[in-house]
Structure 1
Amino acid sequence: MDAPLVIDPGLDPGQIAPIFRRHGRVHLPGFFAGGGGEAVGRALAGPVPWMKSIKIGDDGLDASLAEYEALSPEQRAGMNAAMRQEARAGFLYRFDKWRLSDDIEAGIRHGGALAAAEAVYDFLNGETFLGFIRTLTGDPRAAFCDAMGSRYRRGDFLTAHHDELDGQNRLYAFVLNFTPLWRPDWGGLLLFFDEDGHVSEGYTPAWNALNLFRVPQAHAVSPVWEFAGADRLAITGWVRAR
């Protein structure tokens, strides 16, 4: 039987709160106690219904991996050239996505090998996690979370943006990392930028770590290098107000 998802009791949100108020973000390693994240990591490494998520120009595209792999070499080269051109000044991304919230809220639960990852959605929308967030941030508006699985493979990236979107009431963004081993020189770092465009802080996707940051805030995910030895696996989303 998989271990339950329990926040490490050594993480006191009241003690962490001053750090969050000062910086607007926090990195919390060892978030789940008792091996609770191990089953989630196995699930994300298993038969996830990934979609290839790509943004070029003004439009985002979600395609099945089969559709993406079916592109001809010429089509793939043209897409990559367009992305390189537009990424110099625009907001672009490429990574694999599982719309976890959309599936569950539509009544779709895959169960089986994916049950542990689906349980993260329930955990994020339970009072234990939301109460932890309210105490840590001092914000009583935190009412629910949406979530998606993400997988960054070689060449995947997310350029600088701030996560604010009209009508979504996003308060805080979160990333729960489930890659067992990651080297910072493999790329895939969550980077934050100051007003001068310098990298003010960067988080390696460390195993079983929660990254939480205030919205809006300029950030990006650096490209995963071709020599990376693993896929960058996470469940990410936003804490939202009603």
Structure 2
Amino acid sequence: MSAIETAVEFDGVRTLDPHALRPIFARTGRLHLPDVFQPRTAEAIGRALAGETRWRRSMNPGGRGLDLSQQELADLAPEKRRALEALTLQGARQGFQYAFDTWRISDAVEAGRRSGDLLEAVFDRLNGRAFLDFVAAMTGEPRVAYCDAQATRYRPGDFLTAHDDHADGKQRLFAYVLNFTPQWRADWGGLLLFHDQDGHVAEGFTPAFNALNIFRVPQLHSVSLVAPYAGRERLSITGWVRAR
């Protein structure tokens, strides 16, 4: 086990009683858990995300998921880039759409492209027995088997419109978000919002530093638009807890 892997431990999670949390989770199918890592570990992960250079621009123009590297984005002719952005905004008005930066950690690892960095160590810990058993005990779900993971970066103007995360054949049980931006303000946007059947916001979580948000799938939710005056980038590691 490397020094990086040893340093990444869910210390805060290990102090929690998952059985005590189970009835709380059962009421709404979601929980916000603060301080899941030691502060120095969370700060190191935040620095790794802030210094990440492999970001790809992720959008869904015309209902077709698209990840563009920074070079591919820079190579687009200005008129093509404007058309892509316009199509993305049009889609957001009418239904499901998103615009943010991503680095798909689990995809790279599973394709044999490990680099030995801290983000991969987080992915490995998410798939360790300690975390998976905690989620299974907290939710009462015996099928918990695997977590995928992607790093995400939301900057001013980025968003994720309402959806419920259901995907045929993906075996998604729960979604999770680990947040690593210090001192985020609620009025900067980037909030994880849960929608009720009447179209109201039933609950919202600020992307608090070193916190884990976890919720049952399917569940209607969105990430609100990051305001143009936001003072930081919204950095997180997110994904789904899945059955096999």
Considering the TM-score relative to the shorter chain, is it more than 0.5? yes
Task: Report if the CA contact (8 A) 1:5-1:37 is conserved.
Answer: no
Q: Is the CA contact (8 Å cut-off) linking 1:173 and 1:238 kept in structure 2? A: yes
Does residue 15 in structure 1 map to residue 20 in structure 2? yes
Match of 1:88 in 2: 93
Q: 1:67 deviation in Å?
A: 1.8
Out of 4, 8, 11, which is 1:4 matched to?
8
Q: Does 2:202 match 1:200?
A: yes
- Map of 2:123 onto structure 1: 121
Partner Cα separation in structure 2 for residue 7 and residue 15 of structure 1: 18
TM alignment of 1:64-143, pairs within 5 A: 64-111=69-116, 115-143=117-145
Shift of 1:74: 2.7
Does the CA contact (< 8 Å) of 1:147 and 1:237 recur in 2?
Answer: yes
Is the CA contact 1:55–1:92 (under 8 Å) kept in the aligned structure 2?
Answer: yes
Following superposition, the deviation at residue 34 of structure 1 comes to 5.3
Deviations 1:26-74 (A, max 9, x none): 0011111353222211111113411111111120111111221333433
Corresponding position of 1:32? 37
TM-score (norm 1): 0.94
For 2:84, the aligned partner's letter is: M
- Cα 1:204–1:34 change in 2 (3 A) is closer
For structure 1, the residue ranges without an aligned partner over 5 or more in a row are none
Aligned pair partner of 1:144 in 146, 150, 163 = 146
The alignment yields a C-alpha RMSD, in angstroms, of 1.4
SS state at 1:151 partner: strand
Which has the larger helix fraction? 2
| Aligned equivalent of 2:222, options 192, 217, 220 | 220
CA contact (8 A) 2:39 2:210 kept: no
Contact 1:48 1:98 in 2 (8 A): no
Equivalent position amino acid for 1:6 in 2: F
Percent identity, aligned pairs only, is: 57
Q: Which moved further from structure 2: 15-24 or 1-10?
A: 1-10
SS in 2 for 1:149: strand
**One of 157, 160, 170 as aligned partner of 1:158:** 160
In structure 2, the residue matched to 1:62 is: 67
- More off after superposition, 164-173 vs 80-89: 80-89
Q: Deviations over 1:131-179 (max 9, x none)?
A: 1001110111001111111111111110000000000000000000011
Count of residues in correspondence between the two structures: 239
Q: Secondary structure at the match of 1:134?
A: helix
- TM-score under structure 2 length normalisation: 0.93
Comparing 79-88 with 188-197, greater Cα deviation is found at: 79-88
Taking a change above 3 Å as real, the CA distance of residues 183 and 221 of structure 1, as seen in their structure-2 partners, is same
- What are structure 2's unaligned runs of at least 5 residues? none
